[in-house]
Copies of this chain bind each other. A is one copy, B any other.
Amino acid sequence: MILFQCDYNEGAHEKILERLIQTNMEQTDGYGMDPYCASAARKIKERCQVPEADVHFLVGGTQTNVTVISAILKPWQGVISASSGHIHVHETGAVEACGHKVLAIPSEDGKITGAQVEALYQGHIHDESAEHTVQPGMVYISNPTELGTIYSLAELTDLSQACRRNGLILFMDGARLGYGLTAKGNDLTFESIAKLCDVFYIGGTKVGALFGEAVVITNPSIQKDFRYMIKQKGGMLAKGRLLGIQFDTLFTDDLYLTIAAQANCLADHLREAFAEAGYPFLIETTTNQIFVIMPDDQLAELKKNYGFCYQQRMDETHSAVRFCTSWATKSENVTKLIEDVCNLKA
């Protein structure tokens, strides 16, 4: 079986493993107070050109989303999200479990716009009985989105301005950020994201690390006491250096973007193969996630040798499924899949 079902089917990039082995018996302070975390934070701040930012390392995405969101919101505030947002549909109500409503905005492509945010917020504050409804307090976006799409610089600027005009915090979930920043047509950078967002995280779990997400808080008004929240929400890793070592490695010689670019390259090959074979896509993407629509019988055939993700039913005989590449995807596996796809008839 060859798995394309997600970008966390393997372990870690070899350079990370090497560093973990080298440092294994060193003694360091716990809870992220070690030199590796300090070094990794420094490198990330330099890379994003935000020397005044705070950088924290957490273990996983749901934990990170919950910690950031619940640290920032007032108890009567909610977080705006695309209806397809991870926090709205795939975190078992983790945000609500911390007391906050997710204010879902309809979205076809996983993205939301400044105009949507503006309309929702203005609608709220002009409601005569505003206090009977949840006050929007921040905006959550993922980039790339859960549907593999990415925000352009213009779109993110627009969203950022809408947030700042209305006093809303803008938070970007970058679980797959590497795949976004190295996608064809992308014009965002670490620097522009750091400028336009109040807080964002750089995903390690899906881009070369065993696990780990680096939260970058650029807005000084939300930096205070964040470590209390990490501890309370269960995200303060005893051997915190494991996170520092991994991110220090990923941010040495731009390893993070290099390996993400490779994954995108393989995804591009695969995408072209599907297109040439005549299969339509559920949505156009340029990142490592491909949502292709295929006949159910052909999917059943493919399933004998490949792992992929069921996305949704399209009609009685067709479904959309997701194929993912990652930093760990072997080129020969993509080649093999392409051959098999070519042998099928769309």
Cβ-defined partner of A134 (8 Å) among B6, B9, B93, B235: B93
- Bound-state Cα–Cα, A307 to B34, Å: 14
- Interface-forming stretch among A42-50, A66-74, A273-281? A66-74
User: How many monomers of this protein are in the complex?
Assistant: 4
- Bound-state Cα–Cα, A61 to B132, Å: 13
A132 touching B211 in the complex, CB below 8 Å, given contacts A20-B17, A236-B60: no
Asked if A228 contacts B8 (CB within 8 A), the reply is no
- Bound-state Cα–Cα, A230 to B59, Å: 14
**Can you list, as one digit per residue, whether each of A226-254 has a CB less than 8 Å from chain B (1) or not (0)?**
01111111111111001000000000000
Chain B minimum-CB-distance residue to A239: B8
Q: List the B side residues contacting A93 at CB < 8 Å.
A: 76, 78, 99-101, 134, 232
Asked if B21 contacts A9 (CB within 8 A), the reply is no
Asked if B31 contacts A242 (CB within 8 A), the reply is no
- In the assembled complex, the CB of A16 is this many whole angstroms from the nearest CB of chain B, namely 10
Asked if A11 contacts B23 (CB within 8 A), the reply is yes
- Interface-forming stretch among A84-92, A114-122, A148-156, A255-263? A84-92
Q: List the B side residues contacting A100 at CB < 8 Å.
A: 93, 96-97
Chain B minimum-CB-distance residue to A234: B63
Q: Is the interface of A mostly helix, strand, loop or mixed?
A: loop
Q: List the B side residues contacting A233 at CB < 8 Å.
A: 94, 97, 234
Asked if A96 contacts B96 (CB within 8 A), the reply is yes
A59 touching B237 in the complex, CB below 8 Å, given contacts A92-B76, A93-B101: yes
A11 touching B31 in the complex, CB below 8 Å, given contacts A76-B92, A225-B135, A237-B211: no
- In the assembled complex, the CB of A313 is this many whole angstroms from the nearest CB of chain B, namely 11
- In the assembled complex, the CB of A37 is this many whole angstroms from the nearest CB of chain B, namely 14
Cβ-defined partner of A236 (8 Å) among B6, B62, B239: B62
Chain B minimum-CB-distance residue to A16: B24
Chain A: number of interface residues, binned into ranges: 35 or more
Chain B minimum-CB-distance residue to A22: B11
Q: List the B side residues contacting A130 at CB < 8 Å.
A: 228
Q: List the B side residues contacting A28 at CB < 8 Å.
A: 3, 9
In the complex, chain A residues 203-225 whose Cβ is within 8 Å of any chain B Cβ: 205-206, 210-211, 225
The answer to the question of A133 belonging to the interface, with a C-beta cut-off of 8 Å to chain B, is yes
- In the assembled complex, the CB of A113 is this many whole angstroms from the nearest CB of chain B, namely 21
The answer to the question of A52 belonging to the interface, with a C-beta cut-off of 8 Å to chain B, is no
In the complex, chain A residues 5-38 whose Cβ is within 8 Å of any chain B Cβ: 5-6, 8-12, 14, 17, 20-21, 23-31
Cβ-defined partner of A94 (8 Å) among B27, B29, B232: B232
Q: List 24 A-B contacts (CB under 8 A).
A: A3-B27, A6-B238, A10-B24, A11-B24, A11-B25, A11-B26, A11-B239, A12-B24, A17-B24, A25-B328, A63-B234, A64-B234, A75-B232, A76-B228, A76-B231, A76-B232, A78-B96, A89-B133, A91-B231, A92-B134, A92-B232, A131-B230, A131-B236, A233-B234
Among all A-B residue pairs, the 3 with the closest Cβ atoms: A63-B234, A11-B24, A76-B228
- Using a CB–CB cutoff of 8 Å, the interface residues on chain A facing chain B are 1-3, 5-6, 8-12, 14, 17, 20-21, 23-31, 59-64, 66-67, 70-71, 74-76, 78, 89-94, 96-102, 128-135, 205-206, 210-211, 225, 227-239, 242, 307, 310, 328
* Further 8 A-B residue pairs, CB within 8 A, beyond A59-B237, A62-B231: A2-B27, A3-B27, A6-B30, A17-B20, A60-B234, A63-B235, A135-B228, A211-B238
